[in-house]
């Protein structure tokens, strides 16, 4: 029996407290290049309801997605020795994620965020605890086929060097990188070893522009610049326009899977897309096949609150694929 781990996800984990705002109790205003949510100051405001969702975050969502798709999924993260930390570990295990590499930090709190949920969008109030980030001891028998690296605290900069050192010692392991906010702030030069070792890099179009310094309007320019950083496969998601993928030679455009209902919550749609694309590759699919899987899981996550409830199994994705319209196919870019 093969007990090899398919993929170890790496990143921060958090409990999200969703607060559903009443539409009439808030307004959205437009700034120069940002939108702002406004509520009456210094008063009591009614809200619709609250939901507590445990064990989330870019990499935690990916870890659950991988497990839901039938892969042997493990997770490297930090929690505190409080009830929130215990609940997050229990939630991961309930979702069949191996938690042997989740470190419980004595005397520390677990990450806990508040999500202001207004219509289908959300504004997240974040606070990352100051954990001592260490790379775990991974035996030869525990060495995974892939690692999936995403959002982590700005205090974890040197941790990236530890990940790079381990990858240097394990050249057979492939890495998918979905940079989080702080990882993009660190810059491509500081994280050059990570980018050079990346098998699959996944960004949205705005992030691709920021990371590459390329032309936002020219998808091929973004691809060219991102490939120069080292990644073999680059995926760029583009909101309602779908997604694009390149292996350096072949480039494809993929439309969105049609929504089966109006989106309920957009939390985690990007994580579902990215992790499903990588899972498809792990399972032996081509880039074209991975591009067909990923939007389906992303679409379904939008139908639920939070990033994990709507994640699909491989059989469910296959069913949606069988029922897809004729135009739901990747097209080769010129």
User: How many H-runs (helices) and E-runs (strands) does the chain carry?
Assistant: 10, 16
Q: What pLDDT does 1 receive?
A: 46
| Ordered mean pLDDT values, 10 residues apiece, the chain (334 residues) | 84 94 94 90 95 93 97 98 96 97 97 91 89 94 96 95 98 97 96 98 97 97 98 96 96 94 76 97 97 96 83 96 96 90
pLDDT digits (tens, 9 = 90+) for 159-188: 999 999 999 999 999 999 999 999 999 999
Q: What pLDDT does 309 receive?
A: 85
9 and 63 in contact (C-beta within 8 Å)? Answer: yes
**Residue-range domains of the chain with CATH:** 7-12+57-109+129-332 (3.40.1190.20)
Burial 9-39 (b: 16+ CB within 10 A, else e): bbbbbbbbebbbbeeeebeeeeeeeeeeeee
pLDDT digits (tens, 9 = 90+) for 235-265: 999 999 999 999 999 999 999 999 887 777 6
Q: What pLDDT does 2 receive?
A: 58
One DSSP character per residue, 230-289 reads S-SEEEEE-GGG-EEEE-SS-EEEEPPPPPSS--S--TTHHHHHHHHHHHHHHTT--HHH
Q: Which residues contact 140 (CB under 8 A, 6 or more apart)?
A: none
Q: What pLDDT does 236 receive?
A: 98
């Amino acid at each position: 029996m093969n007990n090899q781990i398919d993929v170890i996800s790496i990143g921060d984990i958090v409990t999200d407290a969703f607060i559903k705002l009443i539409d009439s109790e808030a307004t959205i205003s437009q700034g120069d290049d940002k939108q702002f949510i406004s509520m009456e100051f210094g008063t009591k405001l009614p809200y619709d309801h609250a939901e507590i969702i445990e064990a989330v975050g870019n990499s935690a969502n990916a870890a659950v997605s991988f497990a839901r798709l039938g892969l042997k999924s493990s997770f490297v993260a930090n929690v505190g020795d409080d009830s929130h930390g215990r609940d997050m570990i229990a939630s991961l295990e309930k979702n069949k994620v191996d938690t042997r590499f989740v470190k419980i930090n004595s005397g520390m709190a677990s990450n806990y965020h508040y999500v202001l949920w207004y219509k289908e969008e959300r504004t997240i109030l974040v606070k990352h605890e100051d954990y001592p980030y260490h790379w775990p001891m991974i035996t030869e028998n525990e060495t995974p086929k892939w690692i999936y690296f995403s959002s982590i605290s700005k205090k974890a900069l040197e941790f990236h060097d530890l990940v790079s050192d381990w990858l240097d010692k394990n050249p057979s392991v492939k890495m998918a990188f979905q940079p989080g906010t702080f990882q993009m702030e660190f810059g491509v030069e500081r994280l050059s070893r990570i980018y050079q070792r990346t098998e699959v890099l996944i960004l949205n179009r705005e992030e691709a522009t920021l990371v590459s310094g390329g032309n936002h309007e020219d998808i091929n320019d973004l691809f060219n610049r991102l490939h120069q950083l080292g990644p073999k496969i680059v995926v760029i998601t583009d909101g309602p326009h779908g997604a694009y993928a390149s292996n350096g030679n072949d480039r494809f455009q993929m439309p969105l899977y049609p929504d089966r209902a109006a989106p309920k919550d957009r939390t985690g749609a990007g994580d579902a897309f990215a992790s499903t694309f990588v899972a498809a590759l792990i399972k032996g699919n081509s880039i074209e096949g991975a591009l067909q899987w990923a939007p389906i899981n992303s679409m379904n996550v939008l139908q639920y609150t939070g990033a994990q409830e709507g994640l699909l199994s491989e059989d469910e994705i296959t069913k949606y694929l069988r029922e897809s319209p004729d135009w739901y196919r990747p097209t080769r870019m010129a």
